[in-house]
């Protein structure tokens, strides 16, 4: 399995987000649009992104079934939803995404007791769990092992951590401000890509 590099256009206004996407679209695998970018008429901005950057899949943040419907109508490839939502809301969003054949990421940021969440996660059955890379990251992963749902890693991880993160075989590494707030974003992405290539080559021998 090849791990994807997904660029989260965090902390930017719409014009800056589009420009960042244009600069990096050739060296990232997917784009993610967060709640700030989607706050006012999100579907219209998604259309602008898809028109400007047609060759990369787009994932979007959603918190309601209505938002999910509107975003699916403009052809997004994935949805990220917060695990803090009520179970009935999450069930409806996941069911709608599955019906449309779109991937649903359940964002575990802010979820503290993962042991207590195991039954809930199995019942909800999202396609991916989005796990923030934090101080207790290794311990958090050990608590998710029994859930048997594919993982994507987000948060403020850096270039040096890439080979270590890839040992866990995530579906995606999701990078936001580590790239978008850097003085030379392209240089950071190229460094991440180089580490990903080395780790992939090493995995063939171990």
- Whether 143 is covered by a domain: the verdict is yes
- Answer yes or no: is pLDDT of 102 > 90: yes
Q: Per the structure, how many domains does the chain have?
A: 1
Percent of the chain with pLDDT over 90: 81
pLDDT computed for residue 2 by the predictor: 86
- Whether 58 is covered by a domain: the verdict is yes
pLDDT computed for residue 112 by the predictor: 83
Strand partners, 151: 129
- Answer yes or no: is pLDDT of 206 > 60: no
pLDDT category at 200 given cuts 50, 70, 90 is low
Distances (CA, A) of 119 to 64, 95, 133, 146, 198: 22, 18, 22, 10, 37
How far apart, in whole angstroms, are the C-alpha atoms of residue 158 and residue 175?
A: 9
Domain hosting 168: range is 4-184
| pLDDT tens, position by position, 174-188 | 999 999 999 999 999
Question: For the chain, what is the mean pLDDT?
Answer: 92
| pLDDT tens, position by position, 24-37 | 999 999 999 999 99
| pLDDT tens, position by position, 47-56 | 999 999 998 9
- Whether 132 is covered by a domain: the verdict is yes
- Whether 200 is covered by a domain: the verdict is no
Q: What's this model's pTM, rounded to 2 decimal places?
A: 0.92
What's the chain's Rg over C-alpha atoms? 17
- Whether 95 is covered by a domain: the verdict is yes
117 near 149, Cβ under 8 Å?
Answer: no
pLDDT computed for residue 203 by the predictor: 45
Q: Where are the beta strands (DSSP E) in the chain?
A: 4-8, 30-33, 58-61, 78-82, 103-107, 128-132, 150-154, 172-175
CATH code where residue 176 lies: 3.20.20.70
């Amino acid at each position: 399995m090849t791990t994807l590099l997904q660029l989260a256009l965090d902390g930017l206004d719409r014009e800056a987000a589009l420009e960042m996407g244009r600069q990096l679209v050739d060296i990232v695998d997917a784009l993610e649009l967060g709640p700030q970018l989607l706050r006012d008429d999100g579907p219209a901005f998604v259309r602008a992104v898809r028109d400007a950057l047609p060759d990369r899949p787009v994932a979007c943040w959603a918190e309601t079934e209505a938002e999910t419907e509107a975003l699916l109508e403009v052809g997004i490839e994935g949805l990220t939803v917060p695990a803090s939502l009520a179970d009935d809301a999450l069930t409806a969003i996941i069911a709608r995404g599955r019906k449309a054949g779109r991937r649903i990421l359940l964002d575990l940021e802010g979820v503290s007791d993962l042991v207590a969440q195991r039954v809930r996660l199995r019942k909800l059955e999202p396609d991916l769990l989005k796990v923030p890379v934090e101080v207790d990251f290794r311990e958090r992963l050990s608590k998710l092992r029994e859930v048997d749902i594919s993982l994507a890693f987000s948060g403020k991880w850096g270039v040096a951590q890439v080979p270590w993160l890839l040992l866990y075989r995530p579906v995606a590494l999701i990078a936001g401000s580590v790239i978008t707030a850097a003085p030379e974003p392209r240089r950071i992405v190229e460094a991440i890509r180089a580490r990903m290539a080395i780790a992939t080559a090493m995995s063939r021998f171990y």
